[in-house]
Amino acid sequence: MLLILLSALALAEPPAQAEARPLTPAQKARLAPRRPTRQIVGSPLPTVTDGYRPTLTPREAASGTPDPVGTLPVRPAPTGTTPLAPLPVPLTSCAAGGCTGADGVRYNTNPSGVTVDPAGRTCHQAGTTMNCF
């Protein structure tokens, strides 16, 4: 039985190939050769000449006066000392309504959980110290 099946397979024709369909215009456009373009050889940067020099510093015109486009205003140096952030205050006691600092100042906590000092600045409690900004 097996021999008959094998001989029948050997005599059978190979399966037919699917017919090739013609290409659509979109497929033809993808397969079309690309058009040639001119290759630019050389430096893309501008050439430095006597009349033009790219620079980031202020230039002086031919008359010797500074160029107003490249000139930036100069801020004077600050006088005195710059203000520093206030130092944290150690806390001596805390209750439900706020805390009292070692310097006797009361830091009140409102119902939303924000703590303020008598000057109205927002404060943040970090451990046993209070920082107000």
Tens of pLDDT, residues 99-129? 999 999 999 999 888 999 999 999 999 999 9
With pLDDT > 90 as the criterion, what percentage of the chain qualifies?
31
Number of helices and strands in the chain (H, E): 2, 6
- Asked whether 10 and 3 are in contact (CB, 8 A), the reply is no
pTM of the model: 0.39
128 versus 34: the higher-pLDDT residue is 128
| pLDDT above 60: residue 67 | no
Give 48's pLDDT tier (boundaries 50, 70, 90).
low
The DSSP annotation for 78-94 comes to PPSPPPPPPPPEEEEEE
- In this prediction, residue 117 carries a pLDDT of 93
| pLDDT above 80: residue 87 | yes
With pLDDT > 70 as the criterion, what percentage of the chain qualifies?
60
45 versus 62: the higher-pLDDT residue is 45
- Kindly state the average pLDDT of the residues 27-49: 73
- Report the distance separating Cα 132 and Cα 115, nearest Å: 9
131 token code pair:
């920082």
- Domain ranges for the chain: 89-132
